[in-house]
Structure 1
């Protein structure tokens, strides 16, 4: 049996469930397709949901190009509590009272983190130092200096302010940490903050409208997955627009 002949190349957009990794989705898809040449276009934190792009067959050559595209996230932050990982997945570091901020106060803080600026990546991240992921060092209680990264926020919107929680959407460049965004906004407001929910709704031209749910992927047949895939000719057309 020739897998390469039987499986067309393309991109499978998966709506990732929480508490799963990119590697989990790749493993599930390999099992269901009985095909090994599958990669993923960047990671999402385990707590995050939404768009995860899997590249299949010859589409693996497009991996770097697809990862460079901008992203859109919908998130929620909680003011007054700072955590070690900058999200709800780790222990509390500091608790402060949250002043009675107005929506204008919140928007002013968000506005400071728009356009071009620099982020210092969190210690709990997949960035490597001497070949070791920072999150492994963080687990040992080791903190190392991280170089600031140039990032861009093209657009943002604050949807709901019900203190201490704030819901927002952010359109940003590759390599952007929404956890750090939430943390930095909290620092600017003087009370701290951490990310409590995150969903990626778009990566480049790929969004949730073409996604297969994780629960469906786990039981999908080869034929059903192939039908869901966006084939190479359509991808070429999308990228040329």
Structure 2
């Protein structure tokens, strides 16, 4: 474990948390600040309230490598629901349009997913943390405003379809940083001609970090502080993981 900061007694490193549904990434950071007894905590990659899974918290001196850790590729398990588009591109938004879902074959579904592999561009959703004139887009969206967003380059290195029970499709996607899985679901629905939205999402990997060592939110709230310190990935271990 990294040596504790003499001022706080809190070691530096990364605490992996398995985020529960119906809470924001900021909520998890607030709980961690109380649990670990330090204000110097950030997170690597926002997870929407609907989403669960791997949230990486950088603690003390690890905040200096936050951007480095956020730049790595990700892996998600998701479910999209065909036949309905929503204002947020996920199940928490207002339904904007509903269409009949054709009797798509597995080959039809696979062909739509295949259109979004390799390098391509995504238009970020309005419900995102990207800023326009210093204001996050999601705040503008809450006011009913919509602004022009420039397409952003993203990459999907691999996808897997694990279940098709129309209108639902379960999938796994391996993608670059800055990738919006909700937009991926929306765009696949558009390609199929019936629309779609993201109905479930779980992040299972970020760079070299997986859920195996993650603590639950309940453990974060109620666990012993020293045990939480022991659960952290030290800066030395991170250097070894990255081959530094």
TM-score normalised according to structure 1 size: 0.97
1:97 and 1:175 map into 2 onto residues whose CA distance is: 31
Q: Which residue of 2 aligns with 1:89?
A: 92
Provide the aligned C-alpha RMSD in A: 1.1
Give the match's secondary structure for 1:136: helix
1:74 equivalent in structure 2: 77
Structure 1 gap ranges (5+) = none
**Between Structure 1 and Structure 2, how many residues are aligned?**
240
**Which residue does the alignment assign to 1:125?**
128
Structure 1 residue 166 corresponds to structure 2 residue 169: yes
Whole-Å separation in 1 of the counterparts to 2:59 and 2:147: 36
| Greater than 3 Å deviation, 4+ residue runs | 2-5
Residue in 2 that maps onto 1:213: 216
What residue is the counterpart of 1:153 in the other structure?
156
> In structure 2, what is the equivalent of residue 50 of structure 1?
53
Shift of 1:220: 1.3
Question: Shift in Å at residue 4 of structure 1?
Answer: 3.9
Larger deviation: 187-196 or 217-226? 217-226
Q: Is the 8 A contact 1:33 1:222 kept in 2?
A: yes
TM-score (norm 2): 0.96
CA displacement, residues 176-205 of structure 1 (integer Å, 9 cap, x when unaligned): 000000000000000000000000000001
| Distance of 1:11 and 1:62 partners within structure 2 | 10
Give how far 1:135 is off. 1.2
Preserved contact between residue 81 and residue 191 of structure 1 (Cα < 8 Å): yes
**Which range moved further: 32-41 or 179-188?**
32-41
